[in-house]
């Protein structure tokens, strides 16, 4: 197999685990709320996914549970930020701390227990494309869902009426209010749905890829998701590029080593972060930023 195919095979599942939280963060931020609790929602999703899969034997119930757990984390954050006007950054970190603590306690008995990960479903024809076919089209269904999710989200926020309302909430909440919608409700919904997607990312990690739970298994990928959204300047296509780039760079480390190629390991470890930031900054030099206007207020010290 060629090395590009090897990197793709290794990278795609992990990229998807990052893509879902990034898309969720995008939805949340487009409504005007930054959610640093994304990391916590991923952990909650990863744990509840494994727990429910072990309890019921059905990984799809596990996926469902991860969505619910992620949404619960989001609702907590949204409740604090939207209804209680808490500081967004502080509240997000609180949710993360909380999820980290709770998942490591509740997950303790599950450490070391294994489940069969979601099986790959080979798509006939497409999977036979030389080189990239098996990498792209012999994956689990959550990966395929991610292929559809990006254009769907892009279409939603660009061309639909609810998408417009979402964006308007992020830009000028007062205008949304004047037009008869409730910015608070929209933000609550956006953060909750976004966080549910973060939970789904956690499920892709725990039941889609590795088939077990281990403490703090997200290793900061939730924060990477937040960074990807910002560096991608709030564009779904940018988020797509950023997530796959990060996942690929992460995989390069393993593939390069397995091929016996001598490269400085510490450089390889830094590569995902460096390459993602550099490429997204260059890419975002073209076109305008989609930074929601109210984000500036939310994140500034002057509010």
Partner 1 sequence: MHKRTRAAIAMMTAAATLALAACSSSTPGGGSSSSPATAAGSTTTVGFIMVGSTDDAGYNEAVSDGAKAVEKDLGTSVKVITADQIPENDSVTQTMQAMVSQGAKIIFATSYGYFKYALAFAKAHPDVTVLHQGGFLDGTFPANFGTYWGQAYDPVGLGGMAAGGVTQTNKLGFIYAFPIAQTIANIDAFELGAQKLNPAAQTYVVNTSSWCDPLKQKQAVTALLDQGVDVFSQHQDCQSTVIQAVKSAGKKIVGYHYDAAALYPDGWLTGSAWNWAPIYEKIIGAVQAGTFTGGIYNANWTGSFATGDNPLELASFGTSVSADLQAKIKAEQAALTKAGSSIFTGPIYCQDGTVLVAAGKVATYADTNSFSCLVKGVVGTLPSN
**Chain positions contacting partner 1, by CB under 8 A:** 1, 6, 9-11, 13-14, 17, 80, 84-87, 90-91, 93-94, 97-98, 100-102, 104-105, 108-117, 205-206, 209-212, 214-215, 217, 219, 221, 250-251, 253-255, 257-260, 262, 264-266, 269, 303
Structural tokens at position 26: 């995008």
Structural tokens at position 79: 């409740």
Taking the least distance from each CB to partner 1, the nearer of 180 and 301 is: 301
Minimum CB distance to partner 1, residue 174 (Å): 20
Minimum CB distance to partner 1, residue 89 (Å): 8
CB atoms under 10 Å from CB of 104, counted, come to 15
Taking the least distance from each CB to partner 1, the nearer of 26 and 95 is: 95
How far is the C-alpha of 143 from the C-alpha of 192, rounded, in Å? 22
First CA to last CA distance, the chain: 56
Structural tokens at position 222: 């939730």
DSSP codes, 143-179: HHHHHHHHHHHHHHHHHSHHHHHHHHHHH-HHHHHHT
Minimum CB distance to partner 1, residue 96 (Å): 8
How far is the C-alpha of 238 from the C-alpha of 286, rounded, in Å? 11
Taking the least distance from each CB to partner 1, the nearer of 3 and 278 is: 3
* Residue 226 CB partners (closer than 8 Å, separation 6+): 25, 34, 35, 36, 38
CB 165 within 8 A of CB 290: no
Minimum CB distance to partner 1, residue 113 (Å): 7
Taking the least distance from each CB to partner 1, the nearer of 1 and 175 is: 1
Taking the least distance from each CB to partner 1, the nearer of 42 and 232 is: 42
Minimum CB distance to partner 1, residue 105 (Å): 5
């Amino acid at each position: 197999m060629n090395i590009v195919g090897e990197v793709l095979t290794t990278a795609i599942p992990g990229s998807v685990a990052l893509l879902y939280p990034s898309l969720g963060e995008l939805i949340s931020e487009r409504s005007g709320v930054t959610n640093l609790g994304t990391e916590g929602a991923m952990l909650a999703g990863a744990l509840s996914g494994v727990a429910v899969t072990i309890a019921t034997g059905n990984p799809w119930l596990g996926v469902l549970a991860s969505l619910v757990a992620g949404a619960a984390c989001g609702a907590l954050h949204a409740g604090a930020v939207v209804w209680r006007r808490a500081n967004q950054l502080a509240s997000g970190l609180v949710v993360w701390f909380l999820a980290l603590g709770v998942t490591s306690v509740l997950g303790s008995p599950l450490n070391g227990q294994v489940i069969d990960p979601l099986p790959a479903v080979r798509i006939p024809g497409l999977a036979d494309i030389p080189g990239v076919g098996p990498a792209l089209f012999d994956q689990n269904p959550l990966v395929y869902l991610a292929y559809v999710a990006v254009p769907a989200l892009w279409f939603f926020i660009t061309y639909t009426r609810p998408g417009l309302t979402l964006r308007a909430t992020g830009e000028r909440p007062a205008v949304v209010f004047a037009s008869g919608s409730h910015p608070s409700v929209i933000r609550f919904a956006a953060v909750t749905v976004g966080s549910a997607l973060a939970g789904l990312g956690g499920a892709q990690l725990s039941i889609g890829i590795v088939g077990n739970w281990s403490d703090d298994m997200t290793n900061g990928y939730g924060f990477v998701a937040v960074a990807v959204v910002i560096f991608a300047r709030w564009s779904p296509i940018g988020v797509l590029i950023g997530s796959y780039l990060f996942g690929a760079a992460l995989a390069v480390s393993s593939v390069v080593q397995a091929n016996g190629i001598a490269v400085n390991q510490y450089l390889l470890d830094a590569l995902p972060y460096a390459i993602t930031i550099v490429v997204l900054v260059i890419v975002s030099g073209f076109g305008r930023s989609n930074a929601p206007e109210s984000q500036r207020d939310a994140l500034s010290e002057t509010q």
